[in-house]
Structure 1
Amino acid sequence: MSSTPRCPHCRHFVYLDALTCPQCGGELGFNLLDRRFHGIRDGYTVIEGVAWYTCSNRGWGCNWLVRDDAPAGQCFSCRLTRRRPAADDTIALEKWGKVEEAKRRLLLQLGSLGLPIVPWDTKPGGLGFDLISSLSGGERVVIGHANGIITIDLAESLDDRREALRVKLGEPYRTILGHLRHEVGHYYQSVLLTDDAAWAACRDLFGDERTSYQDAIARHYSLGAPEGWQQTHISEYATMHPWEDFAETFAHYLHITGTLGTAAAIGIHLDASATNLRDTDVVPRDSYRDEPVQRLLSDWDWMSEAFNRIKRSMGFGDLYPFDLVATVRRKLGFVHDIVTHAPLTLEEQIAAARPEVEERT
């Protein structure tokens, strides 16, 4: 987001998942193209002479808008969902609606970063999502990524279940958005590394991903992370295999840029006098695309410390309970480089898709 989302009727702040304004009660719809909320009347609105309708999944919480020629009346985000719960499984559908909310936030960030999104139904290996529940129909659901398809277990949207797994696995952080950011990292590793030189540089930092993944899984769950892993990896899970190290690092890059972008949008900054060790104010940016990774990480060092202190003042744990050691910073620098050199920005992707499917990225 380039600015704080506001109600078009009264200019009050609204959250990204809002269907109506909490201040004036006006009905709202979000347009991916201009990243703004628009007022809805009788199920549609007109933007620059074009009619946009509410998504057919609005009853399950989707507030994105759809051009009148979109397939099945579904927004771009909903069309990326390949599998969802059955129509009569209302309990699973409620959980699905919450996961779709996190997915829309993910897609909005990917678009803001200018990352290419090729839908699963337009090209083999394109991005898609299977959002299904291990608590329905006895199906075994494993969170993961394969050939562009990200699978999420809707049972993870249950706070008690997710917290139990977080404690069992010794994780400091576990959320649906975190899962999505991790799994999309697997997708972008294959999308953004397009030549031998890029893969060689990646292997030099993260290790050779061609080593046996099954052996790595067995070793990790029998022996755990190697001693001293904190000096080389962002998390214990990242030590399992080079694939996971890249995906974990990519997820943290999204955590960092997403949170700094939100701070920038609402005007949060730190005065130099409050930081003691810095001569200039810490002013987060909406985009770090044209900035070196050192600027990104320096701003994050200060802002994450401030956010941690705020959370502790409420009796909670740290917002960002991770240490960015030198090796991890180099890995984040690699991710920053390939992200900021992605082949197309969101606007360029939209322009290239006209006039057939203008809304698709």
Structure 2
Amino acid sequence: MKTFHCNHCSHLVFFENVRCEPCESLLGYVPDLAEISAFEDAGDGRWRSLHPGADGALFRQCHNYAVENVCNWMIAADSPDTLCRACQLTLTIPNLGAPDNRLYWYRLEIAKRRLLYTLAELGIEVKSRQADPEHGLAFDFLEDGGDGARVMTGHDNGLITLNIAEADDAHREKVRTAMGEPYRTLLGHFRHETGHYYFDQFVQNDPRWLEPYRKLFGDERADYGEALDAYYRDGAPPDWQASYISAYATMHPWEDWAETWAHYLLIVDVLDTSTSYGLALLPDDPSEPTLTDRTPVEDASFENLMKRWFPLTYALNSLNRSLGMADGYPFTLAAPVVDKLRFVHRVIAHAGDKAAQ
């Protein structure tokens, strides 16, 4: 993600900010500009953007910004909508009468908006259920029932369900440890589940991609229920790291795709951030990893992304260890995994070009 600055005082601000601390200007995200803008009060619930790209246009706060305090996106003042593009995608919110659920909702919406930012940067179209009732993307944020009924995070024909317990850091860490996972985040869940959605959109019914997909990931027609039972009964093969990005990716070709898709989004998002901040690696010893390339990720070839990714993760893990923390990037990219990532890159690049036409 790129860096943002307050248009009133030029102070550095972040994607989630709602107010500039030094000058106290209202801040909000304008999707059409892909920018955080500072605003001045124009009266009657309207706000005038101070961003030079907005040319003084008037906006309103999303209802979930103005009333619920879980959003920071803006809507054009003349729009009939009350919810922003991001909040329109959420069909079901948590029960706000329960303790902590508003906090969990807030965390879920932050992760969702970061996902949407990355998809937009890659040129991937996101259609809501309002725009496309049959194939649009939507989210339900649900919690386990008092009768012991469990909510499973998953995807079903464009509807992504997330168990809000995943927004509880202690719960998520407990599950991560129990399942032997090196990495488990809310943003990772969103990336993974949208992988299933975009498999249906981009690959499933396109012979140009389906056969190459099957050669790399396997035949998705294999019985999913049987594969799921086998995975939780027997676990992943002992040599899974030679061909898969995660143990869970071994379960079924659909999960291998979703895990690889999620990992590709992780890579481009981190590289986009490091590039925007001007991060460079200039070691005294030329044999150590070097990084000076600042090609925008949306313009970079796959080989360029990989060339920059390895030195960046070397530095990231070294910094984390100096902080006394676990590696920020606890993965190994074997050659077959790189081939799968390259395939995801090709599919996304084609989808972005098609959407731009």
Aligned-partner Cα distance in 2 for 1:57–1:136: 27
**How is 1:132-171 mapped onto 2 (pairs within 5 angstroms)?**
132-134=142-144, 140-171=150-181
**CA distance in structure 1 between the partners assigned to 2:291 and 2:185 by the alignment:** 32
| Count of residue correspondences | 345
Identity %: 39
Residues 172-321 of structure 1: matches in 2 within 5 Å?
Answer: 172-193=182-203, 194-271=205-282, 273-274=284-285, 276=287, 281-287=291-297, 289-321=298-330
- Mapping of residues 44-83 of structure 1, within 5 Å: 44-46=47-49, 47-48=54-55, 50-58=57-65, 59-83=68-92
Q: CA 1:235 to 1:53, structure 2 compared with 1: closer, same or farther past 3 Å?
A: same
Which amino acid is the alignment partner of residue 85 of structure 2?
A: F
Question: Contact (CA 8 Å) 2:70, 2:105: kept in 1 or not?
Answer: no
AA aligned to 2:321 is R
Q: Aligned match of 1:329 in 325, 338, 344?
A: 338
- Residue 137 of structure 1, CA deviation: 8.2
- Cα distance in 1 for partners of 2:56, 2:39 equals 15
| Greater length-normalized contact order (CA 8 Å, ≥ 6 residues apart) | 1
Please report how far the alpha carbon of residue 274 of structure 1 lies from its aligned counterpart in structure 2 after TM superposition: 4.9
Backbone CA RMSD of aligned residues: 2.1
**Alpha-carbon distance, 1:282 to partner:** 3.2
CA distances 1:333-357 after superposition (whole Å, capped 9, x unpaired) = 00011111115577x49xxxxxxxx
The CA deviation at 1:56 is 0.5
Unaligned runs of 5+ residues in structure 2 are: none
How has the CA–CA distance of structure 1 residues 275 and 73 changed in structure 2, closer, same or farther, with 3 Å as cutoff? farther
Asked whether the 8 Å contact 1:272–1:282 carries over to 2, the reply is: no
Q: Distance in 1 between matches of 2:25 and 2:320?
A: 32
3-state SS of 2:5 partner: coil
Match of 2:14 in 1: 15
Counterpart residue number, 2:34:
35
Distance 1:223 1:150 in 2: 27
Give the C-alpha shift of residue 273 in structure 1.
4.3
Letter paired with 1:6: H
* Residue 162 of structure 1: how far off its partner (Å): 0.3
The 8 Å contact of residues 234 and 328 in structure 1, kept in 2 or not, is answered as yes
**Contact 2:90-2:140 at 8 Å conserved across structures:** yes
Deviation at 1:139, TM superposition (A): 5.2
What is the SS of the residue equivalent to 1:341?
helix
Q: What TM-score does the superposition give when structure 1 sets the normalisation length?
A: 0.90
| Native 8 Å contact 1:261 1:285 kept in 2 | no
Q: In structure 1, the residue corresponding to 2:304 is in which secondary structure?
A: helix
Letter of the 2:322 counterpart: S
CA contact (8 A) 2:94 2:164 kept: no
CA drift at 1:87: 5.2
Deviations 1:306-355 (A, max 9, x none): 01101110000111000001000000000011111115577x49xxxxxx
Partner SS for 2:246:
coil
* Contact 1:182/1:251 (<8 A) preserved: yes
Shift of 1:52: 1.1
Distance in 2 (CA, whole Å) between partners of 1:343 and 1:281 is 27
Measured after TM superposition, the shift of residue 6 of structure 1 is 0.9
